[in-house]
Amino acid sequence: MPPSIPRGVADYFGGPARQRRQIEASLRALARAWAYNEIIPPVFEYAETLTTETGGQLAEDLYRFFDRDGRVLALRPDLTIPTARIVGSKLYDQPLPQRYFYAGPVFRYEEPRAGRQREFWQAGVELIGAASPDADAEVLALAALALQTVGLAEFRFSLGHLGYFHGLIAHLRLDDAAIARLQNALDRKSLDDVRALADAWSLIPPERDAVLGLLALSGPQGDGVLSQARALALNPQMLDAVARLEAVEVRLDHYGVKRFFDIDLADVRAMDYYTGITFKAYTPGIGFSVVNGGRYDNLVGEFGPDLPAVGCAFYIDRLLLAQTRQGGPPADPLPDLLILPCECGEHIELARTARAAGLSAAIALGPEVPARYPLRVYCECDGSVTLEDPRGTRTLPIDDWLDAVASPRLVSEL
């Protein structure tokens, strides 16, 4: 019986492994272009660090274990909390704002499902030390551009602000149980359930109107959603949330990405540490978000001085699934060139020069089936090289063969 692996983890090889790394590399290059520097937290930390008050939602999902000194450790459940710890404890006195990118596996003890294993990969950006709408818009615009960069043909962002909901429940003076019931009803998009709660709480206008109107506060930004939200607002906190979204909307228009964003003030489920804007991105054929993000102005303060922050995480596993559903499964990689051995040994030099030119070159060792490879190279041991590809066979002087191959781009067209 072949060895098994634990439930909730997966092996990746061939095309999926390469495509996963390509997604990560694309996101890393984009983040670098936007001046985000890489940060690499440890895979495990003290469990108490990962269970701060603002990160409490993740506490039940931690993989915990003991070290030999009896300390309780845990695998990281996300990369935002470790980044906040590093900044709050080690980088708080560095110039602001600070921009960071990360990529790597995270772990949550959840029921495995499509697009989410117990070990899954995240990449993300965190912008720390800037509280303005410009900072929110930068992260949102980067996220939209990132989904275009990895080749998603269609996607939509859902953009909200927790301040609106928090202002409402503060005005209504709801206890934790009542808040949970309202959140559940909103999650289900059930107007009947929301109406039943309003009846149970004996709400009258304008409070009743504000609660019943929550589910209508979603849609494209040009549909008057924010105007309607302003009309239903009951206090300055709710009005401030609307004003913030209006300011962000203007900046998204400047970035040229406003068309990708819908407003949804009824989406009130988010990480416990979020305090302002929240957002998710969805793509057709995938029933869950491929990007999650938001503003978390209190999290860094759990580890040092208070610093405002906003960021997002890309779910690489889900992006890979979306790419596969949109374009089919990734093909297993083959080298650009297969170089057949020759008696004079010059094939080794041919491989060296091809690799130096940026091509992937494999030297045939015996079991290969040459016809599988898009371009075969044969040294004739007489100062010439023969090239075989789907377009035919040609023999060239040994000094000219690499120019004929030209570039990795040309090879990829074969």
Q: Which residue has the higher pLDDT, 406 or 90?
A: 90
Q: Kindly state the helix (H) or strand (E) to which residue 142 belongs, with its residue range.
A: helix 133-149
Write down the pLDDT at residue 412.
47
| 306-330: average pLDDT | 92
Rg of the chain taking only CA atoms, in angstroms? 27
- Lowest model confidence (mean pLDDT) among 57-66, 342-351, 381-390: 57-66
Please give the mean pLDDT across all residues of the chain.
91
Write down the pLDDT at residue 223.
65
**Cα–Cα distance between 122 and 66 in angstroms, integer?**
25
Whether 227 contacts 216, CB under 8 Å: no
Whether 307 contacts 88, CB under 8 Å: yes
pLDDT confidence of 410, banded at 50, 70, 90?
very low
Whether 65 contacts 108, CB under 8 Å: no
**Residue 190 contacts by C-beta under 8 Å, 6 or more apart in sequence?**
none
Write down the pLDDT at residue 118.
92
pLDDT confidence of 270, banded at 50, 70, 90?
low
Q: Where are the domains of the chain?
A: 14-327, 337-412
| 128-141: average pLDDT | 98
Whether 166 contacts 276, CB under 8 Å: no
CATH architecture assigned to 337-412: 3-Layer(aba) Sandwich (3.40)
Burial of 50 (0-12, 13-18, 19+ CB in 10 A): buried
Whether 198 contacts 211, CB under 8 Å: yes
pLDDT confidence of 409, banded at 50, 70, 90?
very low
**Cα–Cα distance between 277 and 39 in angstroms, integer?**
24
| 117-125: average pLDDT | 94
Q: What is the DSSP string of 24-65?
A: HHHHHHHHHHTTPEE----SEEEGGGGG-GGGGGGGGG--EE
Q: Residue 406 pLDDT > 80, yes or no?
A: no
SS3 189: coil
**Residue 77 contacts by C-beta under 8 Å, 6 or more apart in sequence?**
50, 58, 61, 62, 106, 107, 108
| 381-407: average pLDDT | 88
Write down the pLDDT at residue 54.
53
Residue-wise pLDDT tens digits, 250-269: 999 999 999 999 999 998 87
Strand partners, 394: 387
Name the fold adopted by 14-327.
BirA Bifunctional Protein; domain 2 (3.30.930)
Write down the pLDDT at residue 370.
87
DSSP state, residue 88: I
Whether 304 contacts 191, CB under 8 Å: no
Residue-wise pLDDT tens digits, 54-88: 555 677 889 999 999 999 999 999 999 999 999 99
Residue-wise pLDDT tens digits, 191-236: 999 999 999 999 999 999 999 999 999 888 666 899 999 999 999 9
Quote the percentage of the chain above a pLDDT of 70: 95
pLDDT confidence of 238, banded at 50, 70, 90?
very high
